[in-house]
């Protein structure tokens, strides 16, 4: 006889938190969102802790080195996507680890023989006003000039004008040599009244830019997540196919934590991957596994040696797994059951294995609910894809700025390893879609705003830390009728343009 779960499969929006007693101590400034990432024994501390409970999804449209730096500045970790060559993924990890605060890799670059029209397109796409002109149009090419908006006048110039005709040529540029410290570069900015200064190596190749605004804002990241060498922390996704080659390359590149990226993780292939890591590195390499949605799946991965366990099947915004295959579970039900299993495992063994709720966060309050239900941290894809720092193009569709966002199981990503169930057959159907999401600006502004709300709700619940929230939260299921009561109702809204913006 098949197993039937008693409860229906529930989502976050079906729950509400009920306030607890708030003492005068319950102020947003007193809330601490620190959270463990990898397993630890009773009485000890997790060797990797984040300052905020957010990680970015293992996806092409979300987690590259640029987003990883932005998120580490805020106190979270990005898992760099694994659906790319081992060399490219390792290079991204290396770029995060070698990123020197204030030294920025140029991501708006053009060749001197390209045109003003192409420059304007690039500017629209990247949103940057400073463009490096390099011989081959790459971020590491030989620097031959720079273009800022002061160098051209669209009304007076043909769009066919070549960049070399109006750029500020290298001979007239003020630059600093590689090896200069941030404060030396900053002195050059101030002494010459510049906003930007390029950094070049001995062969005149561009290595970085230093922006005045970055120097000013560097001090503004109190939550920066750094390793013992003061480098940003970063994670990486791996799969159960090429792990024997990929994992050593990522470890060598400096990845702080790995995660097996699979749509369904209750499998022997995950155990093989974990066995490989333990045999080669013992406990010195940290690796999470998943995704699972029930007690059985959690216990299997816990016994197999996972450092954390990721939860979620079918709840991602771009995910069509449930429609395609009829498999998955409402994210709230999955988190609640896996959290119980995690607590039981801790009681039994004295080992605490953090759990991560992956996918399905639509509103900021879903973050608070996921934590209250027992998640130690949360993985988000759609949320981060909307920001300046995500790797995808920013486009204007019908007057609105959007960014592209596609699933790892879509034809566009072609990440079939994530859905691999062994054998040689390649999957022939999609489990994800290609989409747009509303553009939302800088990661820092958004993350701070969302977490301010989380902290405020925690104060209403009378708690100041995530473990306290997990223990003391009171939750109720909402009825379909009371859902209406929860939004603005029975009034005529004056301005509807902002009323349903998803955050």
Among 76, 354, 374, 407, binds ligand IMP (CB under 6 A): 407
CA distances from 112 to 142, 169, 489 (A): 11, 10, 58
The DSSP bridge pattern shows strands 351-352 and 40-41 to be antiparallel
Question: Binding marks (x or -) toward ligand IMP, 157..196, rule CB under 6 A?
Answer: ----------------------------------------
The least CB distance from residue 313 to ligand IMP, in Å, is 8
Q: Is the separation of the CB atoms in 355 and 308 below 8 Å?
A: yes
319 is catalytic: yes
Structure-derived torsion over alpha carbons of residues 371, 441, 409, 269, reported in degrees to the nearest 10: -50
Q: At residue 73, what are phi and psi to the nearest 5 degrees?
A: -60, -30
Q: b/e per residue, 261-276, with b = 16+ CB within 10 A?
A: bbbbbbbebbbebbeb
Which two tokens mark 88?
């490219």
Find the part of the chain contacting ligand IMP (CB under 6 A) among 32-40, 146-154, 164-172, 312-320.
312-320
CA distances from 95 to 52, 75, 101, 234 (A): 23, 18, 12, 10
Is 75 labeled as ligand-binding? no
Helix (H, G, I), strand (E, B) or coil at 100: coil
Q: At residue 114, what are phi and psi to the nearest 5 degrees?
A: -80, 175
Annotated catalytic residue within 95, 246, 259, 319: 319
Q: b/e per residue, 112-146, with b = 16+ CB within 10 A?
A: bebbbebbeebbeebebebbbbbeebebbbbbbbb
Interatomic CA distance for residues 407 and 209, integer angstroms: 32
**Which residue matches tokens 């929230």?**
469
259 is catalytic: no
Find the part of the chain contacting ligand IMP (CB under 6 A) among 97-105, 167-175, 184-192, 315-323.
315-323
359 binds ligand IMP (CB under 6 A): yes
Interatomic CA distance for residues 335 and 475, integer angstroms: 14
Is 290 labeled as ligand-binding? no
Which two tokens mark 167?
């750029």
Interatomic CA distance for residues 111 and 119, integer angstroms: 10
Is 320 labeled as ligand-binding? no
Find the part of the chain contacting ligand IMP (CB under 6 A) among 98-106, 111-119, 166-174, 313-321.
313-321
The least CB distance from residue 433 to ligand IMP, in Å, is 7
Is 263 labeled as ligand-binding? yes
The least CB distance from residue 22 to ligand IMP, in Å, is 30
Q: How many residues bind ligand IMP (CB under 6 A)?
A: 24
319 binds ligand IMP (CB under 6 A): yes
379 binds ligand IMP (CB under 6 A): yes
User: To which H or E segment does residue 287 belong?
Assistant: strand 287-292
Find the part of the chain contacting ligand IMP (CB under 6 A) among 89-97, 197-205, 294-302, 316-324.
316-324
312 binds ligand IMP (CB under 6 A): yes
* H-type alpha helices, 192-314: 212-218, 243-253, 268-281, 295-304
Nearer Cβ to ligand IMP, position 36 or 312?
312
Question: Binding marks (x or -) toward ligand IMP, 29..58, rule CB under 6 A?
Answer: ----------------------------x-
Is 328 labeled as ligand-binding? no
Is 316 labeled as ligand-binding? yes
Among 207, 240, 410, 417, binds ligand IMP (CB under 6 A): 410
360 binds ligand IMP (CB under 6 A): yes
The least CB distance from residue 311 to ligand IMP, in Å, is 10
HEC per residue, 291-306: EECCHHHHHHHHHHCC
316 binds ligand IMP (CB under 6 A): yes
361 binds ligand IMP (CB under 6 A): yes
HEC per residue, 325-354: HCCCCCHHHHHHHHHHHHHHHHHHHCEECC
Find the part of the chain contacting ligand IMP (CB under 6 A) among 102-110, 225-233, 333-341, 375-383.
375-383
Among 431, 443, 446, 458, binds ligand IMP (CB under 6 A): 431
Among 317, 333, 392, 450, binds ligand IMP (CB under 6 A): 317
The least CB distance from residue 337 to ligand IMP, in Å, is 18
Interatomic CA distance for residues 160 and 94, integer angstroms: 38
Annotated binding site for K(+): 314, 316, 319
Q: Catalytic residues, which ones? A: 319, 418
Annotated binding site: 261-263, 312-314, 316, 319
Please give the residue ranges that form the binding site for ligand IMP (CB under 6 A). Answer: 57, 59, 263, 312, 316-319, 321, 358-361, 379-383, 407-410, 431-432
């Amino acid at each position: 006889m098949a197993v039937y779960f008693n409860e229906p499969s529930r989502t976050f929006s079906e729950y509400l938190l009920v306030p607890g007693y708030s003492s005068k101590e319950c102020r947003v400034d007193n809330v601490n969102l620190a959270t463990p990432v990898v397993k630890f024994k009773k009485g000890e501390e997790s060797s990797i802790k984040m300052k905020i409970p957010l990680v970015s999804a293992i996806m092409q449209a979300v987690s590259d080195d640029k987003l990883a730096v932005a998120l580490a500045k805020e106190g979270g970790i990005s898992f760099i996507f694994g659906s790319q060559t081992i060399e490219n993924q390792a290079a991204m990890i290396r770029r995060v680890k070698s990123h020197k605060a204030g030294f920025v890799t140029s991501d708006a670059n053009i060749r001197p023989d390209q045109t003003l029209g192409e420059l304007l397109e690039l500017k629209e796409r990247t949103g940057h006003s400073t463009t490096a002109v390099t011989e081959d149009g790459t971020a590491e090419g030989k620097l031959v000039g720079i273009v800022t908006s002061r160098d051209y006048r669209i009304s007076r110039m043909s769009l066919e004008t070549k960049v070399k005709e109006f750029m500020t040529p290298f001979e007239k540029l003020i630059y600093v040599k590689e090896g200069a410290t941030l404060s030396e570069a900053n002195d050059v900015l101030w002494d010459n009244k510049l906003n930007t200064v390029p950094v070049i190596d001995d062969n005149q190749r561009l290595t970085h830019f230093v922006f005045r605004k970055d120097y000013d804002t560097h001090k503004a990241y109190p939550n920066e997540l750094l390793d013992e060498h003061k480098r940003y922390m970063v994670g990486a996704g791996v799969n159960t196919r090429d792990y024997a080659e990929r994992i050593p390359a990522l470890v060598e590149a400096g990845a702080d934590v790995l995660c097996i990226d699979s749509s369904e993780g209750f499998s022997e292939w995950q155990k093989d991957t974990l066995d490989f890591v333990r045999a080669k590195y013992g406990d010195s390499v940290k690796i999470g596994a998943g995704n699972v949605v029930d007690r059985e799946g959690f216990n299997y991965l816990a016994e197999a040696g996972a450092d954390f366990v990721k939860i979620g099947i079918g709840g991602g915004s771009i995910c069509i797994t449930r429609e395609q295959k009829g498999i998955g579970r409402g994210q709230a039900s999955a988190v609640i059951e896996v959290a119980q299993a995690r607590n039981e495992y801790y009681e039994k063994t004295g080992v605490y294995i953090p759990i991560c709720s992956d996918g399905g966060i639509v509103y900021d309050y879903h973050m608070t609910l996921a934590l209250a239900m027992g998640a130690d941290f949360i993985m988000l894809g759609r949320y981060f894809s909307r920001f300046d720092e995500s790797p995808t193009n920013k486009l204007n569709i019908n007057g609105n700025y959007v960014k592209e966002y596609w699933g790892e199981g879509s034809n566009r990503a072609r990440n079939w390893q994530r859905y691999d169930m062994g054998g040689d057959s390649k999957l022939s159907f999609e489990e994800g879609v290609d989409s747009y999401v509303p553009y939302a600006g800088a990661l820092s502004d958004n993350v701070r705003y969302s977490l301010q709300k989380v902290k405020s709700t925690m104060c209403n619940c009378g708690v100041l830390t995530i473990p306290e929230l997990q223990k003391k939260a009171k939750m109720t299921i909402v009825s379909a009728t009371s859902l209406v009561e929860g939004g603005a109702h029975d009034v005529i809204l004056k301005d509807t343009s902002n009323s349903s913006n998803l955050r």
